[in-house]
Structure formats: structure tokens, C-alpha cells
Amino acid sequence: MHLQDFWRSPLRHLLTVRLTENSEEQTLTSTSDTDNPSHSADPSPRFEFIVEPYLSGVRIDSFLAKQLRNFTTWRLHRMVTAGMATVDDIPAEADQRVFRNQRVSLRLIEPPDKLLEPIDLPLTIVYEDPWLIVIDKPAGLVAHPVGDFQDGTLSNALQHYLDQKTALKGLLRPGVVHRLDRMTSGLIVTAKDHMSHRLLSIDFQQGKLSKSYVALVDGLPDFEQRLIELPIGQRPGGNTVLMSARPDSKNPRSAKTKVTVVERFATHALVECVLFTGRNHQIRVHLSDLGYPIAGDEYYGPRGTIRKSPRFDGEEPSEARHALHAAFLGFFHPILRQWMQFRTNPPPDFWAVARLDPRASGLSSL
């Protein structure tokens, strides 16, 4: 069925989601008014939301844009103006502000207008509940549309996945909370709703998480464990994509990584990297500066050297991965406030970068 047909067809849909912030409960309910005899002529689905404390005082269209993230404020404003919204069962004004614990109802008479293009791609789902999805991302997949990568991303794949779980396309929009480089594989958590996204983002910004990676590095480190505390900033020059730990880097910020050698091979070593900060390309830059760059890294060579210039927009990107994998992720559940942690092993193409057999590794000891 086409998207427009979804919005014209008679629907019976009930969805209840309970969200919590500061121990307060929010209930979202969606019903088709075919369930209500007084509105039997209009099959458009109707959604109801309770105003959370942090959104108290905002305009009704801005409040609704938080709840229905695939709709622009402009489109929601148009539906409110058309008389499709109520606040505590009273018709809403277009510029009305809503306040804590008020009940806002909206009849959806139009489809979403900023829907991520849903693309059916295989996903390895490690964990899922009503608020979160934890994915084991393969190398080569961008987290969300950016630059030359406007489709075929993890976000596009998750949009398709979520659309299969709701009666209407675009009711849920995946929210990427943190990112992995395109050629880095491993664990990434995404949120299904705005409150989970908000609370997870706050926790991550405050460092209430635990992340570690495994990497294969070129060469054999002359240490067993090393704590690297080198600020990272943008590499000097016209292109600001690459980062640097050199003293002349631009806008440097503190960065801290603990590197532990797990196993040594003939010409490579397997290391575990625990992050205490989250700078762009942090592990790649720190290992490069130590003199042991990640095997297969397209840009960062030993001792802070750059192997090649970044590509220009429109140039074909490399499809060769580097040997970096986000193996462990721990965080507080944004709603249940329970500590959750996940671990995955690197896929075969990780080991293939250095032509190693994964069965000979000591990863089981981590």
C-alpha cells in the first residue's frame, strides 16, 4: 500500500507507550475515530500526548514536533490551524502554548513531510525494547545521512524497520545518540522516541556511559598498557575532516584513552581501547601518535603522519575497512534507569585486514 493510501484508509490502531522523566509517567495513545461513533465519518487517526515538565510553556506545534519527529513544525501548525488539535478536549489555537500535564490530542490528516527514506537493509539487532534498539553495525554503513551519504545509512534502515511495526509510516523516527565512523563496526544505540533520545543524550554528554573498542594495529607495541592523554583538535590546513594530536592542532580538546595489549601476532597486535572522552577519531589519532596506527586506516599513519589527503565531495569513497570494532557499550537505560551493557566480537572482515584467523585470538579473555 502506498503512503497516501495509508492516510486515506480506515484504520484501527492503538499504541500505548509509557515514558518517564523524574518519576513522572507519560502515556501516548493513538486511536482511529472509527472507534468513536460521533466521529465515524472521519477515519483519520488521532493521537494523544501528555505534556512533559521540560516542555511546559512551549507552543503546541513545537510540542507536537517533539512527539512526531517525522513531521515539520510547519505541517503540524497547519493541522492545528485546521482545527485538528485539542488541549484537554478544548479546540487549540494555532499559537497556543501548552503546559505540564495537559492532554494534547491531534488528528493526523496529513502524512509526515520530513520522513527519512526507509530502505530495507539487513540489521543485526543485539537488543530491543519499546524505547531503544542496540545494533551491531557493520563496517561501510554510515550512521545517518550526511555529506555524500544521503541514503543507505543505518538511520534509513532503522526507519524501514520501525515502519514495519506501526500502522502508519513515520510514526516513529530513529534517533542516533552517538556515532561510529563509517568503516568502524560494532555497537551503537538508537532511540525510538524523543524522551529516550533526550535522556540518553544527556547521559552521554555527562559521561555516564562505558565504551571500549578492539583494534588491530600495525607493529608490535613496546608496552603492555598505556594511558594516553593528548588533546585532539582539527588538523591544520584547508580540510578540517582529519584530526590531530599535534601541538599545532586547531581548537584542541582534552582526550583520554587507555590502551591494553591483548595479543601479539607476527606483525600486528590486538589491543583494547577504553575511552574516557569522545573526540572525533580519538582512538585512530591516539594510536597513530603512539606509532602503532590501526591496520587498514585510510588516513592516519605512524607518528601522526597522514597517509593520503581526504577525498573531495563527489569522489568515490574507499570500501576497504579498518580494523577497529566497538566491542563493548554500557549505559543507563533512559527510562528504567537500569545499567545495561553489551559486548560483541569483531566480524571476519576485521581480521581479514591483517590476514589473521579469528580463531587464534584471545578475545574470549576480555
**Residue burial 85-102, b: 16+ Cβ < 10 Å; e: rest:** bbbeeeebeeebebeeeb
Note if 313 is an active site residue: no
Residues 301 and 313: their CA atoms lie apart, in Å, by: 23
Tally Cβ neighbours within 10 Å of residue 132.
23
Active-site residue identified among 33, 136, 163, 181 = 181
Q: Mind telling me the catalytic residues? A: 181
